[in-house]
Amino acid sequence: MFLPENIDLAYSEKYVLTLRLAADEFAYSIHCPTDASVFHYQKTSFGNALSYAENVQKLIFDFNIFTQFFRATHVVTASPAFTLVPDAFFEKKRAAELFDFNFQEPSETVLSDAVCDGSLHVVYGVDEKVHSFLSRNLSYPQFRHYTSPLIDAWASYRADEDVKRCFVDFNDTYVTVVCFAGDRLLSTNSFPDKKRYDALYFIASVWEKLSMNQDTDILFLSGDLAARPESADTLRKLIRHVEPVVLTPPVSLTKQQVASIPTDIIVRLCE
């Protein structure tokens, strides 16, 4: 792994470090909130020789840049295993029970993020060994699920329009679908997107269940659309109002970077 010349970790306290952990991939970004010219993103795939926790530990130890003191250190869990709980029914001490009701993930540390001004909580799991290791070796890491910044950003995106809004984000090996009526969250789900028509099937199913109108409601697309041209083209034929999500982070990104960098990372840059 390398860093561009305009990032000097002798002054690491100026930068924000974000680690993004997926099932078979490790990615990180470094940016400077006070200098829009500073941004770096890189990712690498995990090998099969080591366990998930061992892969993470090896990367952290091999590249000691991650253990330095940063202005902020974020750890994003990119996993489709999460559940949303209304605040009225949420108790932090029972978060693990709520998560285990929907998922059977062994050796998970269960965490939660408040979204939508605290009215909802995203409950999700992090590998227990990875959570413990990163908590010990990173500088005050803040853990968050990848859907949390998406939900918060999209809750206010064109919320003044008197229609339902469906946001579809293509990333990794699944598609994330988040729907709103005004600023009220209707549903959030992640679906597998490995076969040719997986995404289309699940998006159509969401629209049917939420009684969304193909002529008046809006479908917003983000993520790596170039890798799934058939899905995007078919959706434009089925739904009248299909638009890209327009994000304006305070750093200069090429079109290729916007497509390849996970949308939740870009959204965090806009905060």
How many angstroms separate the CA atoms of 244 and 224, rounded? Answer: 11
Residue 239: HSE in the Cβ half-sphere, 13 Å Cα cutoff: 27
Fold of 1-145: Nucleotidyltransferase; domain 5 (3.30.420)
Confidence of residue 256 (pLDDT cuts 50, 70, 90): confident
CATH architecture of 155-255: 2-Layer Sandwich (3.30)
Confidence (pLDDT) at 193: 85
d(CA 193, CA 202): 9
Closest CA to 170 of 225, 95, 239, 234: 225
Q: Where are the domains of the chain?
A: 1-145, 155-255
Of the candidate ranges 11-15, 93-97, 230-234, the one whose mean pLDDT is the lowest: 230-234
Q: Do domains 1-145 and 155-255 have the same CATH topology?
A: yes
Task: Assess whether pLDDT exceeds 70 at residue 123.
Answer: yes
8 Å CB contact between 87 and 120: yes
List pLDDT tens digits, range 197-214: 888 999 999 999 999 999
pLDDT, tens digit (0-9, with 9 covering 90-100), for 173-191: 789 999 999 989 999 999 8
**Whether residue 25 has pLDDT greater than 70:** yes
pLDDT (0 to 100) of residue 229 = 78
